[in-house]
C-alpha cells in the first residue's frame, strides 16, 4: 500500500468528472489500498476520493463514526432534512467552512471485487459521503457557497501567488 500525495485546490484533476469503473481488477484493488493508506496516514481524515490522488475514476474511501470502507461507482439518495456544519477538505488543508448538506444518505455502489454495497449514513458520515461523491463529479465543496463566501473561502484555501 502506497501513501500518495493529495492534490490541492487549483489542480485541474479536481475539476474533471471521474469515469465509472468498468473493471474490478488488480489495478482497482491497488487504488483502493492506496486511498485507504493515504486516508490513514494523517489524523482527522474522514474521506478521500480517487481524483484527489490524480485518478479520474469513481472510487471513494471513508473512515468516520466507527465505520470505514470504500465505494466504487457510488450513488447517493439524500434525505430532505438538511443541517449546517463545518466542513473541510484534504485538498484545502487547514480550512473549515460552514456548509448545508443532507443529514442522512443511503449510499449504494460496489466493493473492489464487484459485490454490491449499501451504506446508511447519518450526520458526519453522511456529510463525508456527499463531499467525496462531489469530488467524483468535479465539484468542490466551495462550489456550494454563495459568491461572497466562496471568494472568502478561496482566499483562505488557495496558496498566495
Identify the pLDDT of residue 82: 97
Q: What is the pLDDT of residues 9-68, one digit of tens each?
A: 889 999 999 999 999 999 999 999 999 999 999 888 999 999 999 999 999 999 998 899
43 CB neighbour count, 10 Å cutoff: 5
pLDDT at 161: 53
Told to judge if 80 belongs to the known catalytic residues of this protein, a careful annotator would answer no
- Copy the grid coordinates of residue 50: 480517487
Phi, psi of 15 (to 5 degrees): -100, 0
pLDDT of residue 60: 98
Backbone angles phi, psi at 159, to 5 degrees: -65, 145
Residue-wise pLDDT tens digits, 127-138: 999 999 999 999
Higher pLDDT, 99 or 159: 99
Phi then psi for residue 118, to 5 deg, are -135, 130
Q: Which of 27, 132, 149, 151 is catalytic?
A: 132
What pLDDT, on the 0 to 100 scale, is given for residue 65? 85
Q: What is the DSSP pairing of strand 47-49 with strand 59-64?
A: antiparallel
pLDDT band per the 50, 70, 90 thresholds, residue 1: low
Q: What is the pLDDT of residue 155?
A: 84
- 57 DSSP assignment: B
pLDDT at 43: 81
DSSP assignment of 88-144 equals EETTEEEEEEEEEEESEEEEEEE-TTS-EEEEEEEHHHHHHHHHHHHHHTT--GGGG
Contacts of 30 (CB under 8 A, 6+ apart): none
At 159 the pLDDT is 64
54-112 pLDDT tens trace: 999 999 999 998 899 999 999 999 999 999 999 999 999 888 899 999 999 999 999 99
Amino acid at each position: 500500500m502506497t501513501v500518495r500525495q493529495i492534490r490541492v485546490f487549483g489542480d485541474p484533476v479536481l475539476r474533471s468528472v471521474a469515469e465509472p469503473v468498468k473493471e474490478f481488477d488488480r489495478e482497482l484493488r491497488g487504488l483502493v489500498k492506496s486511498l485507504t493508506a493515504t486516508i490513514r496516514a494523517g489524523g482527522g481524515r474522514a474521506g478521500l476520493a480517487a481524483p484527489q490522488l490524480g485518478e479520474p475514476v469513481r472510487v471513494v474511501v471513508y473512515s468516520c463514526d466507527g465505520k470505514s470502507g470504500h465505494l466504487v461507482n457510488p450513488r447517493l439518495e439524500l434525505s430532505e432534512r438538511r443541517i449546517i456544519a463545518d466542513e473541510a477538505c484534504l485538498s484545502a488543508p487547514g480550512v473549515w467552512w460552514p456548509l448545508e448538506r443532507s443529514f442522512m444518505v443511503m449510499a449504494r455502489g460496489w466493493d473492489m471485487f464487484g459485490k454490491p454495497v449499501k451504506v446508511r449514513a447519518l450526520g458526519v458520515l453522511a456529510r463525508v459521503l456527499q463531499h467525496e461523491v462531489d469530488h467524483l463529479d468535479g465539484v468542490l465543496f466551495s462550489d456550494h457557497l454563495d459568491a461572497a463566501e466562496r471568494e472568502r473561502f478561496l482566499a483562505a484555501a488557495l496558496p498566495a501567488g
